[in-house]
Amino acid sequence: MARLNLRVLLLGLVVLNAAASLSFAASFEADFHDETLRIDYFHTGDATEEIVSLDQMWRQGIWAGSRTRLVDDLDLGRYYAKAFDADSGELMWSRGFDSYYGEWKTTSKAADGVRRTYHESALMPLPKRPVVFTLSVREKDNSLAEIYRLAIDPADWRIRRDALADDVIVVKSAVHGDSHPRVDIAIVGEGYTAAEADKFRADVDRFAATMLNHDPYKSMADRFNVWGVLKPSQESGCDEPSRGVHRNTSLGCTFDSLDSERYMLTEDNRAIRDVAAHVPYDVLYIMVNHERYGGGGIYNLFCTFTSDNQWSEYVFLHEFGHSFAGLADEYYSSSTAYNDFYPAGREPNERNITALSDPNQVKWADLLTAGTNVPTDWVKAEYDRMDQEYQVERGRTNERIASLMTSGASEAEIEAAKVAGEELSKSHQEVVDAWFARNPTREMVGVFEGAGYASEGLYRSQLDCIMFTKGMKPFCAACDRGIREVVERYGE
């Protein structure tokens, strides 16, 4: 019944929104302070039920985002945060996002009714008048259903204004100017001890350069500010629980997230936000001082990567594609923890994959190479065979490393197994890259089956892309356009 009432309320707001978006001309200065309001809340539930409850609110730093594009019309992400003027009902600000909870609820455990709680934050400009803050979740039919509603009076004495911690190091790496018209990236260090602060500074500069030298970021480099922020950790590295490694680090990053060995995330959202608050930021990169292959990226939440693996630069750009531009994974054969990540029969909102429900209405029709067949034949069976052999071998290698590490094997034996694992990954990718180079479709923009964790029924725009296989390769045409579209949303 409560849910039904929410739906009725939401319907009313949808009507108000439509009117408001037409008349939306209020200037930033009339409605907002140039300051960030951080709303922290807990997100609890399983696959079928979700509950949101308030933690605390904070005033922290200037508003880093756009002052003219306050309403997010990209329609990306499984959740939307919105703020409405409490008196007029006018939509003043919104932002689409994904969350750790959103991934949790697609797992088998959540389907079995296991509940978990994740801490989340919404960052919006501090309003000058009372607002109604809401959270909505995307339903299977792609509509948004409200799950949480909170009245916020910006004059409320409960909104905290604590001074920031004084043990945080800030690095101005590639700062091109005023934060409002730029994308401000905070690279937050994890698993660097105080003695490794210089390594952190060098790593921030190295990855800032990696990003700003890769298109399409390269062609828009002055639209980005890159900051480094570090709260030194007690120990180096991060947790690798299935290998028996547990480290005391400032952000709590861990491999084995959602039981996937290479998936590295943190559940300690409050710790990340408290450190990142030292700089103006729109997006977060978490850089983990480690040499193992791994990372993760969740749209408008954060991405993670390790600093010293042979694939670190690739992982950094790939995961940022998820967390910044909401791009989908274009690979489909690696094991993942999700069930039905993209519901059948629905066109994914991500710009780089399509369900191709109508071959005459291709999502990137204007980018297609003339004369390309839709869908485009790319000798998929041959690729699948190569990949399957590799996945089996990779699984064996990872199991061997974990069993050596948890059974007290010698350092030399463990190191040799890790080196063998890295060599396997490198040699496999060399074989795949050579195969791509011989493939007659390699330069084409077409519609290639296999994407978004689905071998059939989802398609990508080019044979290869940095969102598909490993290596410092270009973004495909659909990804390139998706990234440019998002950068535009950060204007002025």
Q: Which is nearer to Zn ion, 93 or 448 (CB)?
A: 448
Q: Can you tell me which residue has the tokens 């500010």?
A: 225
Q: Cα separation of 110 and 116, whole Å?
A: 8
Q: Which is nearer to Zn ion, 252 or 452 (CB)?
A: 452
Should residue 467 be labelled a site residue for Zn ion when binding is judged by CB under 5 A?
A: yes
Binding region for Zn ion (CB under 5 A) out of 188-196, 258-266, 459-467, 483-491: 459-467
Among 20, 81, 230, 476, binds Zn ion (CB under 5 A): 476
Residues whose CB falls within 8 Å of the CB of residue 38, separated by 6 or more in sequence, listed in order: 57, 58, 59, 60, 121, 122, 123, 273, 277
> Would you call 316 helix, strand, or coil by DSSP?
helix
Q: Which is nearer to Zn ion, 199 or 380 (CB)?
A: 380
Among 362, 451, 479, 483, binds Zn ion (CB under 5 A): 479
Q: Which is nearer to Zn ion, 41 or 436 (CB)?
A: 436
Q: Which x/- pattern, by CB under 5 A, does the window 336-365 give for Zn ion? A: ----------------x-------------
Binding region for Zn ion (CB under 5 A) out of 15-23, 35-43, 431-439, 473-481: 473-481
Q: Cα separation of 134 and 94, whole Å?
A: 9
- What the block records as the tokens of 306 is 């390790």
Burial class (CB in 10 A: 0-12, 13-18, 19+), 304: buried
| Residues 329/476, Cβ–Cβ less than 8 Å | no
What sections of 95-225 are H helices per DSSP? 100-104, 108-111, 197-212
Q: Which is nearer to Zn ion, 91 or 467 (CB)?
A: 467
Shortest Å distance, C-beta 190 to Zn ion: 27
Q: Which is nearer to Zn ion, 28 or 331 (CB)?
A: 331
- What the block records as the tokens of 108 is 């088998």
Q: Which x/- pattern, by CB under 5 A, does the window 299-338 give for Zn ion? A: ----------------------------------------
Binding region for Zn ion (CB under 5 A) out of 19-27, 78-86, 270-278, 466-474: 466-474
Give 445's strand partners. Answer: 462
Nearest to 43 by CA among 101, 95, 96: 101
Shortest Å distance, C-beta 461 to Zn ion: 6
Q: Which is nearer to Zn ion, 190 or 449 (CB)?
A: 449
Nearest to 100 by CA among 311, 337, 287, 352: 337
Among 171, 458, 465, 483, binds Zn ion (CB under 5 A): 465
Distance (Å) of CA 442 to CA 398, 415, 434, 476, 484: 31, 37, 11, 11, 23
CB atoms within 10 A of CB 170: 11
Total residues contacting Zn ion by CB under 5 A comes to 5
Shortest Å distance, C-beta 480 to Zn ion: 8
Should residue 397 be labelled a site residue for Zn ion when binding is judged by CB under 5 A?
A: no
Should residue 447 be labelled a site residue for Zn ion when binding is judged by CB under 5 A?
A: no
Shortest Å distance, C-beta 327 to Zn ion: 7
Site residues for Zn ion per CB under 5 A = 352, 465, 467, 476, 479
